[in-house]
A and B are shown apart, each in its own frame.
Chain A
Amino acid sequence: MTTCFSKKISIGTTGKYPRHLIKSSVTVFGGILVAVILCQPQSVQAANQAKLDVALSTPVILRGSVQTAFLKVSLTGFPVPDARLRTPVNVALVIDQSGSMQGEKMARAKEAAMTAIDRLGPNDIVSVVAYDSTVHVVVPATKMDDRERIHTAIQSLYPTGSTALFAGVSKGAREVRKFKSDNRVNRIILVSDGLANVGPDSPEELGNLGRALASEGISVTTIGLGDGYNEDLMVALAGASDGNHAFAETGSDLATIFSHEFGDLFSVVAKNIKFKIRFSEHAAPLRVLGRIARINGQTVSSRLTQLYASQEKFLLVEVKVSPTYTVEKGEIASVDITYSNTVDNVTDVLSKNVSVTYTDSWSTVEDNRNDDVMVAGIELVATEAQKSAILLRDQGKTREAEAALEKNALYLENAGKKYKSTKLKTRATQNRSAKKNLAPSQWRKQRKMMYDDNFALENQQAW
């Protein structure tokens, strides 16, 4: 059972959210929140406010036994009331022009970049940075006033040399900082087809950079092109900075990816979102699935760099609920969220409490089960299992990896049946097909596809 105390609160109208790549279905989850008691203070709901939903996978649990449950704290962006009022963007395109980009890749990258830039309006800021063995600030941060000049500059890119990825992102960040503002969406879009080989090159270092940039309010979207890039590094950078990530198998995929990316960019409604979940003595957080978060005892903190219109982003915490005999119902956590509303230029604060009801009847537990949260939890748990399988394959233990993937597929299949989730069934199929692509010839591409899928799932990337 969820109760809410809130200073401001958004009402859960049935919200649709687009799913990523496979997106076989559109999940309607409003319905299962019927059980949620919604408090609506005073009279009017603020129209331009994100919707906070807090739900437990098993809001009713068996008395007297230790149980784990998933707590899902989700935030859904409100629709942009007027497209003309969208938050201006401050974007740096960081383009790999190392030797391997030669030919089709470079041509498509240029086209995609130019098309994307053409969508920018007069209030937007753009910069273009290219890197090979060194970095070239091709277009220093500028207002979108001289399209021709920017096009010419992009056309001048010429692939040669090595891959100074870290330096490219650093200089991109520098350009973004010139016009960095709370009223702009500050973003670096990195397109690379290669391994970083000049400067820092480990996923850890790039992840650290991403995390630091996120602290500054800059997120990095990474687009991996072809099958030669380092997906660990690209995913670490995007994940830590709360950007997007995409795998473009060929140059021709770039146009669509850029279109999605700019779609997200143009729909930012909130920035600098901070989650704080405080658990009561009735429960303890075990781990946060899929996202970077901090658990300090009974407190879980996390953040998002931005929230897009009508998109749901959530934090999924696995919790241990204590057994109790004394109470019928106990509050297990309070959730506080603050963010900058970039449409109304105010800081919004949202709060909700979540509690659990104890019962002696197993059927009551089953009846009250929140399948949406359950499925989300299982998806992420299965993703962790898939990552372990990837690790096994990386270590050359192909057979073990195969077994792990098969086990994961079975787990997903069973869960899919139990919770009647096509999503889980699709994931099971994916794990099965991944199993067939462990041979060296397919593995590079397969690995990138899995990283791409997992990233989208963990970060609720809508495309």
Chain B
Amino acid sequence: MKKRLAIVLILIVLLPLIAIAILGIKVARDDRQLMTQQYRRMVDSELAGTLALIETALGQRTRQFEKLCSQRSPSPNVLRDATDAEPFVRQFFIVNKEGKLAYPVNDNNASEAEQAFLKRTAHLWTQRFPFRSSNEKTMPNTGSGFHTYYWNRGLQFVFWAGHQSGQVIGFEVEKTMLLADLIDVLPQTDLQGISDKRVRLTSENGKTLYQYGGFSPAARTAPISEQALPPPFGSWRLQYFAPQQLKSTGLATSTISTLMLIGILLLVVLALGAYFLLAYNRESQLAMQQVNFVNQVSHELKTPLTNIRMYAELLADQLDQDDDIQQRYIRNVTTESQRLSRLIQNVLSFAGSNRNRLVLRPSEGCLDDVITASLAPFRPALDRLSIAVETDLNAAELVIFDTDLVGQVLTNLISNVEKYASSGQRLRIQSNLNGTHARIRVEDNGPGIAPHQRQKIFLPFNRLENQITEGATGTGIGLTISRSLARLHGGDLCVLNSTMGALFEFQFSVKRIMP
């Protein structure tokens, strides 16, 4: 019983705990996932914003470059002087109508710079019309755009534009200025700012070209987000780094509140469990005390009762054998004291919480005799309470059963009627014997037992708390013991539906005497 209760209690506490924990973990994980997603979106959109700025600046620069080319006359001398004046121009060049490089060429007039340019870009001039815009199919030398190539392990930029003369004027772009242009667009690091991120512009070979933001990621950290620059910087990238914890700062509040809620729930469940456990303990302790008390009292009673019985028996021998009245009285004293000692024995057995120690002592007997004998001691009291006794006894056959045990159950049932159902002024006992199956019904016209209490009354110390039990004395274990005894005897004791009062049915099995 206690073990089962403990399991139930544990389940009551544990199951919700597990459920809440799983829920909490799931919520936190979902939360984190959601926040990570949101954070990534935020980072992506920030990078996208930066890229948009770059694109705008690049667009402006491209238009300026177009003007640089289209508004010059395609003459080497003009372009030479222009090269000095234009920060973005490292070297101008002209591709003629035939698609061949017309300036600079390696002649006597070529400066060292021009010769170096020819060397750097030699691969470009091996084919005719080296520059074509994507939408140009038929007309060569029209359109404009960037052309990139690798030289000396680095990305190089050329800008070209078709000239009205039918030639192409272009220039090798000063890469450092192009980079400085990007740096112009990208933010600086605010000295007073929060060190929450680092954005890096990396080159085609992964080298950092520029970076901003106060956070310093450890070496070889992977960026949270990475986006490629628009062409012609296609192989350059913007990388976004941020501290690991920052990824979750956004969700800290919600996670904390979720965890707090879960924590509160856990505490509530634990408190409930603890309360139940305490209440249960208190109740069982109370019951224990009652049992102990009864136990002690019974023990105390045992010795005087034994003496009473001994002296009553001695007295019976000494008394006048012919004096019926004396003999009857002394017999009553003896039987009653025997009954009492049995009762005490039972109580002690029960209190010893080892009811299995009760053993059947079957003997030959007549069931109806046992009923009559059990009624006899109650006669005076029943008479006094004007309780009419009706008997319908149909088990006069001699069979084998524990007469003491059956008598004890009957005594208990009759005494209950005496104690609690005297208002009904009726007691009816009916017996039946069907083969090995004996049945005794004890019925009264008292207040009866409400259906929902019909099980409870068999629990120990469960005296019905209403006016029935008021003023009546009792240990509260009578029916418990009775039922145990009935079950011990292969039967049961239950309450049946009755229209009048209480109807107890006591069934048990008997053995037939071998013919």
**Interface residues, chain A, CB within 8 Å of chain B?**
130, 133-138, 156, 161, 164, 166-167, 170-171, 173-174, 198-200, 205-206, 208-209, 211-213, 215-216, 274, 294-297, 301, 303
B80 interface residue per 8 A CB criterion = yes
Q: A167-B183, A200-B209, A303-B84 are in contact. Are A205 and B188 (CB under 8 A)?
A: no
Select which of A136, A209, A215, A216 is within 8 A of B189 by beta carbon.
Answer: A136
Do residues A209 and B177 form an inter-chain contact, with CB atoms below 8 A? yes
A205 to B152 CA separation, bound complex (whole angstroms) = 12
Question: Which of B12-20, B108-116, B425-433, B470-478 has 4 or more CB atoms under 8 Å from chain A?
Answer: B108-116
A258 CA to B478 CA in the complex, in Å? 113
A212 touches B177 (CB 8 A): yes
A297 and B190 contact, Cβ closer than 8 Å, known pairs A161-B216, A199-B208: no
**A294 and B180 within 8 A (CB):** no
Which B-chain residue is minimally distant from A208 (CB atoms)?
A: B176
B184 interfacial by beta-carbon distance below 8 Å:
yes
Question: B319 near A: Cβ within 8 Å?
Answer: no
Which residue in B80, B113, B183, B191 is a CB contact (below 8 Å) of A170? B183
Does B424 sit within 8 A of A, measured CB to CB? no
- Having A206-B176, A215-B85, A296-B109, one finds 12 other A-B pairs with CB under 8 Å, namely A135-B188, A138-B191, A166-B176, A167-B211, A170-B179, A174-B183, A208-B176, A211-B174, A294-B84, A295-B111, A296-B111, A303-B84
Which B residue sits closest to A138, measured CB to CB? B191
B209 interface neighbour in A199, A208, A294, A297, Cβ under 8 Å: A199
Contact of A134 among B85, B112, B175, B188 (CB under 8 A): B188
**Is B323 in the interface zone, CB < 8 Å from A?**
no
Q: Which residues of A contact B110 (CB under 8 A)?
A: 296
Q: Supply 16 A–B pairs (Cβ within 8 Å), ascending by A.
A: A134-B213, A134-B214, A170-B180, A174-B184, A198-B211, A199-B208, A205-B175, A208-B175, A212-B87, A212-B88, A215-B85, A294-B84, A296-B109, A296-B110, A301-B81, A303-B84
Which listed residue, B84, B176, B190, touches A136 by the CB 8 Å rule?
A: B190
B212 within 8 A of A: yes
Interface assignment of B90: CB less than 8 Å from any CB of chain A? yes
Cβ-defined contact, B212 with A135, below 8 A: yes
Please report B residues at the A interface, Cβ cutoff 8 Å: 80-81, 84-88, 90, 108-114, 174-177, 179-180, 183-184, 188-191, 198, 208-214, 216
In the bound complex, residues from chain B placing their C-beta under 8 Å from that of A137 are: 188
Would B189 and A200 count as touching, CB distance under 8 A?
A: no
Q: How far is the CB of B106 from chain A (nearest CB, A)?
A: 12
Q: Report yes or no: A209 in contact with B188, Cβ–Cβ below 8 A.
A: no
CB nearest to B182 among chain A residues: A170
Can you list the 7 inter-chain pairs with the closest CB atoms, starting with the nearest?
A297-B109, A212-B87, A134-B189, A215-B87, A209-B176, A170-B180, A170-B183
A198 to B85, CA, bound (A): 29
Q: Specify which of B108, B174, B208, B214 is in contact with A198 (CB 8 Å cutoff).
A: B208
Residues of A within 8 A of B213 (CB): 134
Bound complex: CA A115 to CA B26 (Å): 63
The answer to whether A136 and B87 touch across the interface, beta carbons within 8 angstroms, is: no
CB distance from B194 to the nearest CB of A (A): 14
Instruction: Identify A156's interface contact among B81, B184, B191, B212, CB under 8 A.
Output: B191
- Alpha-carbon distance A284/B87, docked complex (angstroms): 29
Identify the closest chain A residue to B176 (Cβ). A209
Q: Determine chain B's interface SS by DSSP, over half rule.
A: mixed
B192 (CB) vs chain A CBs: closest residue: A156
A346 to chain B, nearest CB (A): 19
Residues of B within 8 A of A211 (CB): 174
Nearest neighbor of A214 in chain B, beta-carbon distance = B87
For B175, the chain A residues whose CB sits under 8 A away are: 205, 208
User: In the complex, are the beta carbons of B191 and A164 less than 8 A apart?
Assistant: no
Cβ-defined contact, A209 with B180, below 8 A = yes
A296 with B189: CB separation less than 8 A: no
Whole-angstrom distance from the CB of B212 to the nearest CB of chain A?
5
Residue of B nearest to A160 (CB): B216
> How long is the Cα–Cα vector from A209 to B270 in the complex, in angstroms?
72
State in angstroms the CA–CA spacing of A296 and B110 once bound together.
5
Partner of B80, one of A199, A212, A301, A303: A301
Report which of B85, B114, B210 forms a contact with A164, defined as CB distance below 8 A: B210
Q: Is the CB of A170 within 8 A of B184?
A: yes
| Nearest-neighbor residue (CB-CB) of A207 within chain B | B176
* A141 shortest CB reach to chain B, Å: 13
Give Cα distance in the complex from A401 to B313, angstroms: 142
A212 contact from B109, B174, B183, B189, Cβ within 8 A: B174
Q: How far is the CA of A131 from the CA of B208 in the complex (A)?
A: 15
Q: Which residues of B contact A205 (CB under 8 A)?
A: 175-176
In the complex, which residues of chain A have a beta carbon less than 8 angstroms from the beta carbon of B113? 294
Name the distance in Å between A121's Cβ and chain B's nearest Cβ.
Answer: 27
* A200 to B, closest residue via Cβ: B176
- Whether A295 and B209, one on each chain, are in contact in the complex, defined by CB atoms closer than 8 angstroms, is no
Q: How far is the CA of A294 from the CA of B213 in the complex (A)?
A: 42
In angstroms, Cα B106 to Cα A296, docked, is 11
List residues of chain B with CB within 8 A of the CB of A133: 211, 216
Of B86, B87, B109, B183, which is within 8 A of A213 by CB? B87
The distance in angstroms between the C-alpha atoms of A301 and B184, with both chains bound, is 31
Hey, which chain B residues are within 8 Å of A212, CB to CB? 87-88, 174, 176-177, 180
Assess the A136–B90 pair: CB atoms within 8 A. Answer: no
Least distance between A18 CB and chain B CB atoms (Å): 29
The interface residues of chain A lying within 8 Å CB-to-CB of B183 are 135, 167, 170-171, 174
Contact yes or no, B84 A215, CB < 8 A: yes
Chain B, Cβ-Cβ closest to A205: B176
CB pair B86 A215 closer than 8 Å = yes
- A171–B187 Cα distance when bound, in Å, is 10
Q: Which residues on the A side are within 8 Å of B174 (C-beta)?
A: 208, 211-212
Residues in B neighbouring A200, C-beta threshold 8 A:
176, 179, 209
Shortest beta-carbon distance from A262 to chain B in Å: 25
B117 to chain A, nearest CB (A): 12
Closest residue on chain B to residue A198 by CB atoms: B208
**Complexed CA–CA distance, A166 and B174 (Å):** 14
**Nearest chain A CB to B76 CB, angstrom units:** 8
Contact between B209 and A134, CB atoms less than 8 A apart: no
CA distance A307 to B174 in the complex (A): 26
CB distance from B53 to the nearest CB of A (A): 14
Nearest B residue (CB) for A299? B109
Nearest CB to that of A287 among chain B residues? B112
Hey, which chain A residues are within 8 Å of B188, CB to CB?
134-137, 171
CB distance from A168 to the nearest CB of B (A): 10
CA distance A130 to B184 in the complex (A): 15
B177 contacts which chain A residues (CB < 8 A)? 209, 212
Given contacts A134-B189, A156-B191, A164 and B211 within 8 Å (CB-CB)? yes
B residues in contact with A199, CB < 8 Å: 179, 208-210
CB distance from B185 to the nearest CB of A (A): 10
* Chain A residue at smallest Cβ distance from B184: A174
Residue of B whose beta carbon sits closest to that of A158: B191
A-side contacts of B198, CB under 8 Å: 134
**Docked CA distance A171–B85 (Å):** 21
* Chain B proximity of A406: nearest CB distance (Å): 30
> Of all chain B residues, which has the CB nearest A294?
B111
Whether the Cβ atoms of B176 and A135 lie closer than 8 Å is: no
A163 to chain B, nearest CB (A): 12
Complex CA–CA separation, A199 to B179 (angstroms): 10
B contact residues around A164 at 8 Å (CB): 210-211
Shortest distance between the CB of A230 and any CB in chain B (Å): 16
- B180, A136: Cβ atoms closer than 8 Å: no
Shortest distance from the beta carbon of A290 to any chain B beta carbon, whole Å: 15
Q: Which of A130, A134, A161, A208 contacts B212 (CB 8 A)?
A: A134
Provide the bound-state CA to CA distance between A200 and B108, in Å.
34
Give A274 to B212 CA distance when docked, in angstroms: 38
- Chain A residues, Cβ within 8 Å of B190: 136
Chain B nearest CB, measured from A164 CB (Å): 7
Which residue of chain A has its CB nearest to the CB of B107?
A: A297
- Inter-chain CA distance A84–B452, complex, in Å, is 114
* CA–CA, A156 and B192, complex, Å: 10
Roughly how many angstroms separate A302 CA and B86 CA in the complex, as a whole number? Answer: 14
User: Could you tell me the distance in whole angstroms from the C-beta of B109 to the nearest C-beta in chain A?
Assistant: 4
* CB proximity of B267 to chain A, nearest CB, Å: 47
